[in-house]
Amino acid sequence: MSDNEQEGAKRPDRRTLSSAARLYAVQALFQMEAMGQASDRVTNEFRNYRIDFEDRDGPTAQADEELFERIVDHAVMWQSRIDQATDKGLVEKWPIDRLDPVLRAVFRAAGAELVLNRAPFRVIITEYVRLTQAFFAEGKESKFVNAVLDHMARTLQPDSFN
């Protein structure tokens, strides 16, 4: 890209950067579980080779890297609490361990944001339902995620409902 093209290229707005950070966080959490990798290794990989990176298929999306790292870090730090809140939102006899690993990553990323309590719970739920629709375009998973995240929000952000 020439200097003139770079000057004319606009940085995406905050919402777009936040949405991309959430997508990358779900992907990173999935990778950590699937490959048994530590969070610092995966976040470094994403920072250096995935977020706002030029690869053979073209540029990847820019993201709010601080939000990405906060989500991943808090998902790891608070995983037990997040998984317990997720289990409470699931039907009995269907614990989080039985879920599709992508759904587990979605719940853990969203749960991390609910624990952080920096964004309104409605925004968090909407964003992760939308991400779920991208991963499961044909399924009913987005309605399922919406219901479980609503329950999780009531558990993890009870003051938001008073």
Residue 12's pLDDT is: 85
pLDDT of residue 159: 85
The answer to whether the beta carbons of residues 127 and 71 sit under 8 Å apart is no
CA angle 72, 78, 82 (to 5 degrees): 100
Pick out the chain residues at pLDDT < 50: 1-8
pLDDT, tens digit, 9 for 90 and up, residues 36-53: 999 999 999 999 999 999
pLDDT at 2: 42
- In this prediction, residue 8 carries a pLDDT of 46
pLDDT at residue 23 in the model? 98
